[in-house]
Chain A
Amino acid sequence: MATTQAPSATPERSRSRTWAWTAGSGVALLVLVTIHMVAHHFVVEEVGGLRTYAQVLEYIGNPVIVVIELAFLVVVTIHAMLGLRSVLFDFGLSERAKRLADRGLVALGVVTVAYGIVLIGVLASRA
């Protein structure tokens, strides 16, 4: 018996959805990375714009900054994992290898975000 695939399950549809997520997270990153770079390199009047330990704690003690940094962490990780996925898929992987790569990248992304949250949380608690 012939079966038909739902449009959402076709490779074509999946590819477009991945592209939309990559482009969407990339556009969001343009805003977030600009805030991050300006705040970390172009505001502080120290060499290289880098904050001292005391200045870092004062900076991360602001709840608005915590939210911005968390958003940056999540969006940059999503964008990075999708980018790595595109590069890996460029190697012409088999369907099984693609599924493994997907799972590996999801795991790596979750670990990355979790580590970042711990880092921000510990520093915010010291502020």
Chain B
Amino acid sequence: MSVRRGADPGLDEIRKGREEAGPVPRKGVGPVAWFDIRRRGLGHFAFSLNRITGLGLVFYLYLHLAVLSTLLRGEDAWDSFLGVATSKFFLLLDVLLIFGLLAHGLNGLRLALVGSGRAVDQQKALYRSIQVIGTILLLGAALRLMGSE
């Protein structure tokens, strides 16, 4: 089924689409709709979170490659960068990165299971499960990172 920009497919159409393998159709598409929380369910919130964390992770990918270029400039450049990267502020940014990875990765796994038709009826339970698992992993990672200072 196709979802045109600006057109809200009917509920029957959405339900039918969700039973088919592939991307899960949405009531509204586009970046504006990501932030439109009116009469939206858990699925919409998870979808928007995936888009926003995904964009953040793409930004981080290029930032990471730029930072790793410091290695090409030799030992002094890298080791002086480590002095900045191991400050409390940067360690907190690492925790934010891990939050983004966990939110995007675990929710992406849920979307893959739902979209492939394997867990269509369990998507809310799956969402709650990944929230619990993600919170535990994030706390563990944060304690490990901040505790290493």
- Residues of A participating in the B interface, judged by any CB pair closer than 8 Å: 11-12, 15-16, 19-20, 23, 26-27, 29-30, 33, 37, 41-42, 45-50, 52-54, 56, 76-77, 80, 83-84, 86-87, 90-92, 112, 115-116, 119, 122-123
Q: Are B54 and A83 in contact (CB under 8 A)?
A: yes
B54 and A49: CB pair below 8 A? no
- Residue of A whose beta carbon sits closest to that of B146: A48
Contact A48 B2 (CB under 8 A): no
Flag the segment in B38-46, B71-79, B120-128 that touches A. B71-79
- A112-B78 contact, Cβ under 8 Å, with A33-B101, A122-B72: no
B51 contacts partner chain A, Cβ-Cβ < 8 Å: yes
**Smallest beta-carbon distance A9→chain B, Å:** 15
Residues of B within 8 A of A (CB): 1-2, 4-6, 21-23, 29-31, 51, 54-55, 57-58, 61-62, 65, 68-69, 71-72, 74-75, 78-79, 82, 85-86, 90-91, 94, 98, 101, 105, 108-109, 111-112, 115-116, 141, 144-145, 148-149
Say which residue of A20, A42, A77, A92 sits within 8 Å of B6 (CB atoms).
A92
- Partner of A115 from the list B65, B74, B90, B91 (CB cut-off 8 Å) is B65
Q: How far in angstroms is the closest Cβ of chain B from A46?
A: 7
Task: Say whether B65 contacts A48, CB under 8 Å.
Answer: no
Closest to A76 in B: B61
B54 — which chain A residues lie within 8 A by C-beta? 83, 87
B108–A56 touching, CB < 8 Å: no
A19 touching B65 in the complex, CB below 8 Å, given contacts A53-B78, A84-B58, A119-B71: no
Taking CB atoms, residues of chain B closer than 8 Å to A91 are: 5, 30-31
Contacts known (A15-B23, A26-B112, A90-B29); A37 close to B101, Cβ less than 8 A: yes
- Which residues of B are found within 8 Å of A30, using beta-carbon distances? 105, 108-109
Residues of B contacting A76 in the complex (Cβ-Cβ under 8 angstroms): 61
Q: A26-B108, A48-B86, A112-B65 known; 12 other A-B pairs, CB under 8 Å? A: A19-B23, A30-B105, A33-B105, A41-B94, A47-B86, A47-B148, A53-B74, A53-B79, A83-B54, A87-B54, A92-B6, A112-B61
Nearest Cβ distance between residue B102 and chain A, in whole angstroms?
10
Q: Inside 8 A of A16's CB, which chain B residues have their CB?
A: 21-23
Q: Which A residues are in CB contact (< 8 Å) with B22?
A: 15-16, 19-20
Q: CB-CB < 8 A to A45: which residues of B? A: 148
